[in-house]
Chain A
Amino acid sequence: MQRIGVFVCWCGSNIAGTVDVQAVSEALKNEPGVVFSTNYQYMCSQAGQDIIKNAIKEHKLTGMVVCSCSPRMHEATFRKTAAAAGLNSYMVEIANIREQCSWVHKDMQIGTEKAIILGKAAIAKVNLNAPLVPGESPVTKRALVIGGGIAGIQTALDIAEAGFPVDIVETKPTIGGKMAQLDKTFPTLDCAACILTPKMVDVAQNENIRIFSYSEVTEVKGFVGNFDVKIKKKARYVKEDVCTGCGLCTEKCPQKKVPNEFNLGMDNRRAIYIPFAQAVPKVATIDPNACNMLKNGKCGVCAKVCAAGAIDYKQQDEIIEEKYGAIVAATGFNPISMDKFDEYAYNQSKDVITSLEFERLTNAAGPSAGKLIRPSDGKHPHTIVFVQCVGSRCAACAEKGKEYCSKICCMYTAKHAMLTRDKYPDTEVYVFYIDVRTPGKNFDEFYRRAVEEYGVHYIKGMVGKVAPEGDKLMVQASDLLANKQLHIAADLVVLAAAIEPDKSARPLATMLTASMDTNDFFTEAHPKLRPVESPTAGIFLSGACQGPKDIPETVSQASAAAAKVIGLLCKDKLTGNPCVAHSNELMCNGCSSCERVCPYGAITYIDKEFRMPDRTTRVRRVASVNPAVCQGCGACTVACPSGAMDLNGFASKQIMAEVDAICK
C-alpha cells in the first residue's frame, strides 16, 4: 500500500475563489492510501515546497498528489521538489483543479465537488504508480533551419556564431525570402536589400553554415537531440560548385516568356535564371517546365555559352541524409490569393495590385526599375487608392479571408502612401482602413507623419466595389466618420492582402509532429513564456510561421529561437523520458500493429523462445521497444489488440483506475 500525501493549492484566489480548498483537502484525507492532506496558498512557492518536503520525510510518503494548476505549468517543479526530499519524481501526480476546474466554474459547490473528484482520480492513479528512472541520450551538435528568409538567416547566423554547424534548407533557388522582394522598410525607411543582402553574404561565407537551396525536407525521424532528416536537393541542372554566376546563360537563353515569380509575374525571365542580382547562392537554375532542352531535347544554348561548363541536363534530384540535434521551422508567409475577392476586380484589371506587387513596382531592381507606373499602360498614376484589411479581420467571411489581423499591413501601407507622396507629390493618395494599428517602437509617429506631413487621405471605412471603367478604376467606398458614400476615379488600386502561413508548413508540421493552430500557424509551447519553442521537444519556431510578424519582431524571435537551440546543443546528454512503452511478451502476438502506428520507428520484432505448459518450447515473434527512441505517445498501446503494449507511468490500468474513480 502506498503512503500518499495530498497537497491542495489555493493559487491565491485562482483556485480558492471557486473551490473550497479546505473541504477538498479534508475530503481527500479519507481516500485509500492517503496518510496526509493539507492545503496552502501557493504550493509552488518556496514555503509551499518546504511543506511538501517536510511531509515526505515526516510521513514517509511513497507517493504524492498536488491539486493545483495544469501539469504543463508545474509538474516539473513538483517532481524536483519530490526528488529533493528523496521521493522518486514519477511518484508525483498532478490533479488539475485550476484550468480544468476553478477557471471554468463559477459555483463554489460545483467547483469543490469537481476538485474532489479530480483529486480522487489522481490518488487512484498514484496508488498504481511505480518509481521510474529516466535514461540518457546523446545530442547531435548540428541544427537544421527550414526556410531561408530573414528569420531563417538570423537564426542560422546566431547558431553558427556560437560555434555550431547549421544547415539551411530553402525551397527557392536563393535564400532571402520575402524581405528580398521589399523596397524600403518601416519605420526607418532603410532599403531592404541594403540591410538584407550583407546578411545573406554572411551566411554564404560562414564556415558553420551550409545552404541547401532549391531543396526541401522530405522526411524527419527521431527525437530531440537525435533527428534523422532526409533533404531532397532538387535538380537545378546546373553544377552548383562550378557555376560562377556570371549570368551569360540567362541572357542567351532563347526561352524568354517565363513569368518571373520574383517580380510576381509582372515581367518575364528566361528558362535558365538567377532570381535576382544578389542571390545566394549566386547560381543559375533551369526551370524544367520551361526549358526546351529538358522538354524536347532541342536547344542547348546555355551549355554552349557557359565557359565554366556548369550546365548538366542529366542532373538528378539528390537525397541528403543528415543528423540534427535541433530543428527550427522558419517557413514564413505568403499573401493570400485574391481570387475570392471579386469586388476589388483584381482579376479583371491589371491596375488592381497587391501590396507586395506594389513593393516590386517601386523597387529599383523591379520590373519598372523603380518607376511607379500603371501596369496596364505604363502611365504615371495620379490617384491611388490603398485598401487595407483585404482578407484580414474577416470574421464574417471566413471562407474568403482570415479572422486574424495580419499585423504588418497598416505599417507598410503608411510607408507606401508616404513614399508615393514623397516621390510624386502630384499624386493623390487615399487609404481606406478599419482601424490603424501602430503598436511598435516609432510606429505611430511614422503613421502620423504620413497623415500630417505628407497629406495622405486616411478614410475610416471599407471599399465596397472597384469597377474598371475606361482607363479608370471607379472606387465606391463609405466614409464612416462623415457617414457619406465616396466615389473615387482611381488610376491604381493597391490591396493590402492578408498574409497566411506558407503552404509547406502543414506537411512539415506533420513530419515534425509539431502542432498547428486552425490557421496553420505553428503553435508555441506556451504563448507567453515559451514563445519560440514548439510543444514538440527539439523543434523551434522562427518568424512568421508562428504568427504574422514584421521584420524587427521576426529578427528578435529568430535570435530567441537561436538562443534556445544553442542552449540545447550545448548539452552533451539529454535526460530521457522514462514514460516509454513496453511489451508484455507473454501476451504479444507479434502482429505488427504497434510497429505500423509507431511514428518514431521505436518498435522492432524478435523471435523468442517460450517454454510451454507441456514442457515443449515454442518460438514466437514478439515486439521489442527501443526506450531511447520511444517518445511515450501511447499510439501502440491502443493499437495492440491483446493489450500487450503498455506505457510506463500511463498504464492502461492506471488510466482505468482514474476513470473508475471519476465515475464512482
Chain B
Amino acid sequence: MQKVTGELLINKALELLDNGTVNRVLGWKRGEFAYDMTPAVFADAEELKNNFVFNDFCGANFSKYLIAETRKEGKVLVFLKPCDSYSFNQLLTEHRFDREKVYAVGIPCEGMVDISKVKKAAGDGILDIVCENDGLVVKTLYDTDKVIDCKEVLAERCVSCKSRKCVAYDELLGENGDVLDSSRFDEVEKLEKMTEDERYAFWQNELSRCIRCNACRDVCPACTCEKCVFDNPDSGVENKAVSDSFEEKMFHIIRAFHVAGRCTDCGECSRVCPQHIPLHLLNRKFIKDINEFYGDYQAGAEVGSRAPLVNYTVDDLEPSEAVQKGDADNA
C-alpha cells in the first residue's frame, strides 16, 4: 500500500552512505514475526541490502532514537514519515539532539496496519504476511491464503490521520501531502459525553489491564528525560503511581500530564501497548483542551514554537474560565 518501496529507500540510503553524507542508517528490519518490523542501525551496504525493509508494518517512529544516535561519531540517516517528522521537530524544540548530525529523508506514508486487526480478520496461526499492492496476503496454519484489504485493518491512529505532510526533512522522497482535517477527536468527544461514573468505569476497565511494562513511556518521543520521575525514588512520584485501588491509573495520568503540550499525537504509545490500552485518548484529550482553550496548536509543527502551556499571552483564558468549562462538561 505504501507509495514508496523499500527498494527506493535502500537505494537512497546506499547513495548517501556511498557519498559519505552519512555513516549509519536508521531503518526497519524484519524481526521474529512477519509483522514485527524492528528498528535497526545499518552501517554497511550489504547488511542494508539484505535486511532493510519498508512495508505496511513499519510504524516505528525513529525520532527518539536520534538522541542516542547523534551522540556518536558522524552523521546518521533517518527516514521520517509525516508523523515522525512532528516528533523530530518537537525534540529539536526541546534541544534534545544535534540537528547537524542528522540527515533526514522525508517519506510519504499511506497509513500503517494494526496487527491485532489483521489477526482478527485472518484468525490465529499466522505464518507469513506478504504486502501486495493494496492488500495483505496472509498465510496461516489452518487456512488457504487470505487476502485482506489494508484499508480494513489500518491502525486507529492512521484511520484518523492528522497530517500527511512531512514538516522536517533535508530531502523528500515522493510527494509531500497535506495537513488533514482529521476526525481524531471523535473518540474523545464520546468520552466527554459520558457521565463522570461512566468515564471512570471506562478508564478503570482499560487501565486495570496495564502491566507496567513501561513500553508506552520507553517508546514515547516526548519521554526523553535524563532520569524519568518514575525511575527516581527521590521524585516523590514513583510511589504515588501505584497508590490506588486500580493501581496504574496514577501512572498514566502523571505520564499524560508530563507530555501535555509536547505530545505530537504520533500514537506510538497505543501501538506498542501489549494490553491494547487506547493511551492516545488521554493525550488527545489534552490536545483538544489546549486547542479549545488557547487556539489550535500542533506540537512539532515547527521548531521553536512556544507551546501554550509554557507560554503566556495577555488574551490567555483565565484559569477560572477553564474550571468553569470543566464543571460545565461534567454537569
Q: Report A-chain residues with C-beta under 8 Å of the C-beta of B95.
A: 590-592, 605, 621
Q: Which of A9-17, A241-249, A297-305, A636-644 contacts B (4 or more CB under 8 A)?
A: A636-644
Q: Report B-chain residues with C-beta under 8 Å of the C-beta of A653.
A: 234, 236
**In the complex, A589→B232 CA distance in Å?**
15
Task: Indicate whether A618 sits within 8 Å of B237 (C-beta atoms), given known contacts A642-B226, A643-B232.
Answer: no
**In the complex, A605→B234 CA distance in Å?**
24
Interface residue B19 (Cβ < 8 Å from any Cβ of A): no
Interface residue A476 (Cβ < 8 Å from any Cβ of B): no
Q: Report A-chain residues with C-beta under 8 Å of the C-beta of B306.
A: 596
Task: Indicate whether A593 sits within 8 Å of B310 (C-beta atoms), given known contacts A642-B225, A652-B236.
Answer: yes
Contact A643 B229 (CB under 8 A): yes
Interface residue A588 (Cβ < 8 Å from any Cβ of B): yes
Interface residue A395 (Cβ < 8 Å from any Cβ of B): no
Contact B94 A592 (CB under 8 A): yes
Contact A642 B229 (CB under 8 A): yes
- Residue of A whose beta carbon sits closest to that of B222: A641
Q: Report B-chain residues with C-beta under 8 Å of the C-beta of A396.
A: none
- Residue of A whose beta carbon sits closest to that of B311: A596
**In the complex, A71→B271 CA distance in Å?**
51
Q: Report B-chain residues with C-beta under 8 Å of the C-beta of A510.
A: 314
**In the complex, A641→B307 CA distance in Å?**
14
Q: Report B-chain residues with C-beta under 8 Å of the C-beta of A587.
A: 225-227, 232
Q: Report B-chain residues with C-beta under 8 Å of the C-beta of A656.
A: 236
Interface residue A586 (Cβ < 8 Å from any Cβ of B): yes
Interface residue A507 (Cβ < 8 Å from any Cβ of B): yes
Contact A589 B228 (CB under 8 A): no
- Residue of B whose beta carbon sits closest to that of A640: B225
**In the complex, A593→B308 CA distance in Å?**
11
Interface residue A597 (Cβ < 8 Å from any Cβ of B): yes
Q: Report A-chain residues with C-beta under 8 Å of the C-beta of B310.
A: 593, 596-597, 639
Minimum Cβ distance to chain B for residue A130 (Å):
15
Minimum Cβ distance to chain A for residue B214 (Å):
16
**In the complex, A618→B67 CA distance in Å?**
13
Minimum Cβ distance to chain A for residue B208 (Å):
23
Task: Indicate whether A589 sits within 8 Å of B314 (C-beta atoms), given known contacts A596-B306, A643-B232, A643-B237.
Answer: no
Q: Report A-chain residues with C-beta under 8 Å of the C-beta of B228.
A: 642
Contact bitstring A646-659, B, C-beta under 8 A = 1, else 0: 00000011001000
Q: Report A-chain residues with C-beta under 8 Å of the C-beta of B237.
A: 643
Interface residues of A in 557-592 (CB under 8 A from B): 586-592
Q: Report A-chain residues with C-beta under 8 Å of the C-beta of B262.
A: 641
**In the complex, A591→B96 CA distance in Å?**
7
**In the complex, A653→B259 CA distance in Å?**
22
Interface residue A254 (Cβ < 8 Å from any Cβ of B): no
- Residue of A whose beta carbon sits closest to that of B94: A591
Interface residues of B in 226-252 (CB under 8 A from A): 226-229, 232, 234-237
Interface residue B160 (Cβ < 8 Å from any Cβ of A): no
Minimum Cβ distance to chain B for residue A621 (Å):
5
Minimum Cβ distance to chain A for residue B70 (Å):
12
Q: Report A-chain residues with C-beta under 8 Å of the C-beta of B314.
A: 507, 510
Interface residue B258 (Cβ < 8 Å from any Cβ of A): yes
- Residue of B whose beta carbon sits closest to that of A510: B314
**In the complex, A644→B232 CA distance in Å?**
11
Contact B227 A586 (CB under 8 A): yes
**In the complex, A507→B95 CA distance in Å?**
32
**In the complex, A620→B236 CA distance in Å?**
25
**In the complex, A644→B228 CA distance in Å?**
10
**In the complex, A643→B259 CA distance in Å?**
13
Contact bitstring B295-308, A, C-beta under 8 A = 1, else 0: 00000000000110
Contact B96 A643 (CB under 8 A): no
Interface residue B312 (Cβ < 8 Å from any Cβ of A): yes
- Please pick, from B96, B235, B259, B309, the residue contacting A589 in the complex, using a CB distance under 8 A: B96
| Consensus secondary structure, chain B interface | loop
**In the complex, A582→B242 CA distance in Å?**
29
Task: Indicate whether A586 sits within 8 Å of B71 (C-beta atoms), given known contacts A591-B95, A596-B306.
Answer: no
**In the complex, A264→B94 CA distance in Å?**
53
Interface residue B163 (Cβ < 8 Å from any Cβ of A): no
Interface residue B176 (Cβ < 8 Å from any Cβ of A): no
**In the complex, A289→B256 CA distance in Å?**
51
User: Among B96, B237, B310, B311, which residue has the most Cβ atoms of chain A within 10 A?
Assistant: B310
Minimum Cβ distance to chain B for residue A466 (Å):
36
Interface residue A601 (Cβ < 8 Å from any Cβ of B): no
Q: Report A-chain residues with C-beta under 8 Å of the C-beta of B93.
A: 592
Interface residues of A in 321-353 (CB under 8 A from B): none
Contact B226 A586 (CB under 8 A): yes
Interface residue A599 (Cβ < 8 Å from any Cβ of B): yes
Contact B226 A588 (CB under 8 A): yes
Interface residues of B in 168-193 (CB under 8 A from A): none
Interface residue B2 (Cβ < 8 Å from any Cβ of A): no
Q: Report A-chain residues with C-beta under 8 Å of the C-beta of B225.
A: 587, 589, 641-642
Interface residues of A in 360-390 (CB under 8 A from B): none
**In the complex, A596→B224 CA distance in Å?**
18
Minimum Cβ distance to chain A for residue B249 (Å):
17
Interface residues of B in 78-131 (CB under 8 A from A): 93-96
**In the complex, A621→B309 CA distance in Å?**
22
**In the complex, A656→B238 CA distance in Å?**
12
Q: Report A-chain residues with C-beta under 8 Å of the C-beta of B312.
A: 597, 599
Contact B311 A589 (CB under 8 A): no
- Residue of A whose beta carbon sits closest to that of B316: A510
**In the complex, A652→B237 CA distance in Å?**
10
- Residue of B whose beta carbon sits closest to that of A618: B71
Minimum Cβ distance to chain B for residue A641 (Å):
5
- Residue of B whose beta carbon sits closest to that of A653: B236
Q: Report A-chain residues with C-beta under 8 Å of the C-beta of B232.
A: 587, 643
Minimum Cβ distance to chain B for residue A306 (Å):
39
**In the complex, A621→B235 CA distance in Å?**
21
Contact B224 A589 (CB under 8 A): yes
User: Among A588, A593, A599, A642, which residue has the most Cβ atoms of chain B within 10 A?
Assistant: A642
**In the complex, A621→B71 CA distance in Å?**
13
Minimum Cβ distance to chain B for residue A78 (Å):
28
Contact bitstring A603-623, B, C-beta under 8 A = 1, else 0: 001000000000000101100
Q: Report A-chain residues with C-beta under 8 Å of the C-beta of B224.
A: 589
Minimum Cβ distance to chain B for residue A524 (Å):
21
Minimum Cβ distance to chain A for residue B110 (Å):
33
**In the complex, A586→B234 CA distance in Å?**
13
Contact A642 B236 (CB under 8 A): no
Contact bitstring B42-85, A, C-beta under 8 A = 1, else 0: 00000000000000000000000000000100000000000000
- Residue of B whose beta carbon sits closest to that of A585: B226
Q: Report A-chain residues with C-beta under 8 Å of the C-beta of B236.
A: 652-653, 656
Minimum Cβ distance to chain B for residue A659 (Å):
9
**In the complex, A146→B96 CA distance in Å?**
43
- Residue of B whose beta carbon sits closest to that of A639: B310
- Residue of A whose beta carbon sits closest to that of B67: A589
- Residue of A whose beta carbon sits closest to that of B93: A592
Q: Report B-chain residues with C-beta under 8 Å of the C-beta of A652.
A: 235-236
**In the complex, A297→B307 CA distance in Å?**
44
Minimum Cβ distance to chain B for residue A248 (Å):
42
User: Among B93, B225, B258, which residue has the most Cβ atoms of chain A within 10 A?
Assistant: B225
Minimum Cβ distance to chain A for residue B216 (Å):
15
Minimum Cβ distance to chain A for residue B151 (Å):
37
- Residue of B whose beta carbon sits closest to that of A610: B226
**In the complex, A178→B259 CA distance in Å?**
51
Question: Could you list some 28 contacts between A and B, CB below 8 A?
Answer: A507-B314, A587-B226, A587-B227, A588-B226, A589-B94, A589-B224, A589-B225, A591-B95, A592-B93, A592-B95, A596-B306, A596-B307, A596-B311, A597-B312, A605-B95, A621-B95, A639-B309, A641-B225, A641-B259, A641-B262, A642-B225, A642-B227, A642-B229, A643-B229, A644-B226, A652-B235, A653-B236, A656-B236
Q: Which 8 A-B pairs have the closest CB atoms?
A: A642-B225, A591-B94, A656-B236, A596-B310, A587-B227, A643-B235, A597-B310, A590-B95
Task: For the A-B complex with A591-B95, A597-B310, A641-B258 known, give 13 more contacts whose Cβ atoms are closer than 8 Å.
Answer: A586-B227, A587-B225, A589-B225, A590-B95, A591-B96, A592-B94, A593-B94, A596-B311, A621-B95, A641-B225, A642-B226, A642-B228, A652-B235
